[in-house]
Amino acid sequence: MYLLGVTRAGRTIEYEKYYTYRFGPKGGKRGKRRGPMTEVQRRANNRQAERKLRRLVNANFGPGDLHIVLSYARRKGEPYRTREEMRKDADGFLRNLRKAFKKAGMVLKYIHVMEVGEKGARHHHLIINHIDSRTIQKCWGELGRVLISPLDGSGQYRKLAEYLLKYANRTVGTDAELMGKRWSSSRNLVKPETERTVVSDRSFFRSEAKVPAALAGRYYVDLETVEKGVNADGYGYFRYTLVAYGAGDGPGQGNRPVCRQRGAGKRRPVRRAGRSKYAKEREQVAEGQGGPGGA
């Protein structure tokens, strides 16, 4: 027997089939940890953190909401901000932003991650619900510049979550970490729950990512999320994610994200519509003419 986990977060539905020691032979139990954390365990923890953050972003934010980067104005020779100073700056910014949202009759939602760039520059990454750019810059004040990027219409923000945790995953548990945890967030966020079902028929553990008949025409498989392997405890798993089509999208329509298997051509798969450099390729695929490297 195995477990089937289904997690709904915004426009995504994540499926996970996996075996676990909790449903193994009678008397089986997980062994005690011995010695320091291994690299395999560390990678598993990082993937779990990315999974949790991805679901949090997908469930609470969407098209028009903002990914903002707060940078610091720093004169040559001036020391970098310490972690304590960065935390104080973030607290002040969020306090100002809450007031601005309240004045506008809205409630702030946010996810916050602190980062040190490759050359040492300090940054704050935040995902927030929409408000005008001038208000954001005013709340940050004279500390530095603000870079603002609206979230796209895909409803799947997996790559953004991975990007935000890139620094934290490298430094968690070391002297270089900036926060006691990988990210902080407002308390008003929806936290997706996973529905788990015990499946006794082993024949249903198929490594096949497909859209259930009840959802056909409304969802597609995000091919980059299809994953099969063995976890740190030695048990097999299989995962994939469905994403709902946006307004005006659908099977066979030009706005559908192009999803091609790796290896079909020399170029990596193109996942999202709206990038002009790939417009011709999308049109060819929609018309059945193939793309670069196609038949």
Q: Read off the pLDDT of residues 58-82 as tens digits, 9 standing for 90 and up.
A: 999 999 999 999 999 988 888 989 9
Q: What is the pLDDT of residue 158?
A: 95
Q: Contact, 30 vs 226, CB < 8 A? A: no
Contact 145, 73 (CB under 8 A): yes
Residue extents of the structural domains in the chain: 2-56+191-245, 66-185, 246-295
Tens of pLDDT along 200-230? 876 666 788 999 999 999 999 999 999 998 8
**pLDDT band (50, 70, 90) for residue 185:** very high
Q: Which of 42, 39, 36, 44 is nearest to 18 (CA)?
A: 44
C-alpha–C-alpha distance, residues 295 and 288, integer Å:
10
pLDDT at 46: 81
pTM of this prediction?
Answer: 0.76
The CATH number of domain 66-185 is 3.40.50: no
Residue 234: left (phi > 0), alpha (psi -120 to 50), or beta? Answer: left
Separation of alpha carbons 71 and 64, rounded Å: 22
Residue with tokens 């028009």: 64
